[in-house]
Amino acid sequence: MRIEALALFLSVAQYRSISHAARQHYISQQGASAMIKSLEQEWEVALFDRTPTGLQLTTTGRAIAKEAAAVLSAYRRVQIAAALESGAESDEPLIIVTMPFVTNRLEVLFSEYEAMAAGARLRIVERSLFEIVDTYEADNADVLYLIALPAFMQRMAERVQQSFRPLVVCELMAACARTHPLANREFVTPAELCQVPLACYNEEFLMRILGHLVGRRCPDVQMRTSNPAMIGRAVASGEMVTFTDSLSVFLDRPDAETVIVPIRDSVFFSVGVLGEPEPGSAAARFVRFFERYLATSCASYMARHVADGAEAGEGERL
């Protein structure tokens, strides 16, 4: 039994759907069904009952799910511990200058680093992409700069090409309530997104991505706010659709009532480091942790998205 099979089992229990769980794990529905069947055969139990509202855990399945969640949590902490490296502790916090968009993408990573790295404290300073690019060389050498950069921003890419080191590729995706008409779709097109009410995080960078995605069409953005809870309530009501990205979904899976739908011809962007942290500094240690975390905790994600990046045209991916 592989750890991936336990993770898939918990996703099926969460989404009550093999197809939705398969989508989150980047495998086919047939492959996901085979993995669940293999677990049932190995344990000689039935894990799910089929109901009109989707798959439901059996009594035995609920007991196994509780233990599986504990196993996965412990395994993830082992991976995080492996990604951490010993280094000189400092009384000073590590200052990370980044965009609000990146803060939202990496919130789980930041929290886990602080929880497990001895003495680590992070101070997040949010600025726009343009402010960061304009000022990063003049700031303290021990400050870490994290940015997101889509390939369609060609002038910006040319401006930072000697200084930007991408670490991970992300794909913009749509998020809606399980009751929303888009929830059962394999994908949604940019034109279809312009036909439904949208709730968006109020950041210029995201609005630029949305503008590039829909082209000359006019999206129906009915809510722009910096309050994620308000967006969450609007989506949970079934009235609005919002946006997330593939890495956020992988790191911090949505609640069972939220469905993630891929966008056809979506926007892809890279998250990475601007500038080179001083060797041995707290910034350099965090970057090393970030790289090892992606290689361990996000191995299946990285394998898929590195392949995607290699196959994509120059118009949408770095």
Half-sphere exposure of 39 (CA within 13 A, CB side): 23
User: Which residue matches tokens 């196994």?
Assistant: 64
> Could you state, in order of their start, the residue ranges of all structural domains in the chain?
3-83, 94-169+269-311, 170-262
Same fold, 3-83 and 94-169+269-311: no
Q: What is the pLDDT along the chain (318 residues), one digit of tens a residue?
A: 588 899 899 989 988 889 888 877 878 899 999 999 999 999 999 999 998 878 999 999 999 999 999 998 888 888 788 777 655 555 678 899 999 999 988 988 898 888 887 777 899 999 999 999 988 876 666 789 999 999 899 889 888 988 999 999 999 999 999 899 998 888 999 999 999 999 999 998 999 999 999 998 999 999 999 898 999 999 999 999 999 999 988 887 767 788 889 999 999 999 999 988 888 888 888 998 899 888 887 887 888 776 444 344 333 433
CATH number corresponding to 170-262: 3.40.190.10
What is the bridge-based pairing of β-strands 144-150 and 198-201? Answer: unpaired
Query: Which two structure tokens, joined as six digits, stand for 152?
Result: 């369609």
Q: Which CATH superfamily is domain 94-169+269-311 in?
A: Periplasmic binding protein-like II (3.40.190.10)
Query: Which two structure tokens, joined as six digits, stand for 307?
Result: 């392949």
User: Which residue matches tokens 């680590």?
Assistant: 120
Q: Tell me what pLDDT residue 307 has.
A: 45
Nearest to 273 by CA among 107, 143, 170: 143
Could you tell me if 6 and 21 are in contact, meaning their C-beta atoms sit under 8 angstroms apart? no
CATH architecture classification, 3-83: Orthogonal Bundle (1.10)
Question: What is the spatial distance between Cα 222 and Cα 199, in angstroms, rounded to a whole number?
Answer: 6
Provide the whole-model pTM: 0.81
Using DSSP's 3-state secondary structure scheme, residue 261 falls into strand
User: Which residue matches tokens 């989707």?
Assistant: 54
Q: Tell me what pLDDT residue 100 has.
A: 93
Return the bridge partners of 96, or none: 124, 144
Q: Tell me what pLDDT residue 90 has.
A: 58
